[in-house]
Structure 1
């Protein structure tokens, strides 16, 4: 009888603890992952077809072959795209941090509000 009561007690405690932990164990949605990888792909294409690329304070400036200047930057919790300082095309939502660094390659890091971390590297083609 004591074993049965102990087993029921452990089962109830485990159920209570699991029900409290489940909301914190939610993985990032696959839809959001798809959006971020799609963003990485389109950004890489835009960088590879550009004339010059500059990075200043986590803002990416892309100088196109037709003379436009495209800027990609974080504005509040979105990543936006502007052409020649105009517009507000939202590329990604629910972004906590957006970091761009350049060494020999361009490194892009995105952390979402759910604290999921995404990373991409773009190699610049040298003309010449």
Structure 2
């Protein structure tokens, strides 16, 4: 075979000698990164997120409401599976189970629903506070103990 000499201007020899990126390639890469970055965050959140259920989040929010009520109370007692909190203005707040709801009543009037879809609610008096045990309809059981500092 005969070896032919190639004319450097006739073929694309300059592409094999490329030593870097040009501005258009750089801008394309940056735009692709910025477009895919939010989706990457969602994918990581879905794959690494523990399986928190709606019930668990609701129960933790309920415990936060109870904590706020206990902080604003100066005394408490447990009567007939209901927690009675005596507020600073001597109003009595009652936290109790009503069918499959946990409700809050002030002076036995009206009600505010704190939590839905529960199976059981139990209050236990402790020497240092109150222990609350909740069983949701799915069977999960949650409990928390609140320290009561304001008792006179």
TM-score normalised by the chain length of structure 2: 0.62
* Structure 2: distance between partners of 1:94 and 1:29: 17
From 43, 63, 74, the equivalent of 1:51 is 74
Contact 2:131 2:143 (8 Å CA) reproduced: yes
* Structure 2: distance between partners of 1:30 and 1:116: 11
Q: How many corresponding residue pairs?
A: 101
What RMSD over aligned residues (CA atoms) do the two structures have, in Å? 1.7
* 1:110 Cα deviation from its structure 2 partner: 0.2
Q: Which aligned segments of 4 or more residues in structure 1 are displaced greater than 4 angstroms?
A: none
1:76-125 CA deviation, whole Å, 9 max, x = no partner? 11001101100121111111000001021211000011101001000111
Greater gyration radius: 2
* 1:57 Cα deviation from its structure 2 partner: 2.1
Q: Identify, as 1 or 2, the structure richer in strand.
A: 1
* Structure 2: distance between partners of 1:60 and 1:52: 11
SS in 2 for 1:51: strand
1:91 aligns to 2:114 (yes or no)? yes
Gaps of 5+ in 1: 1-27
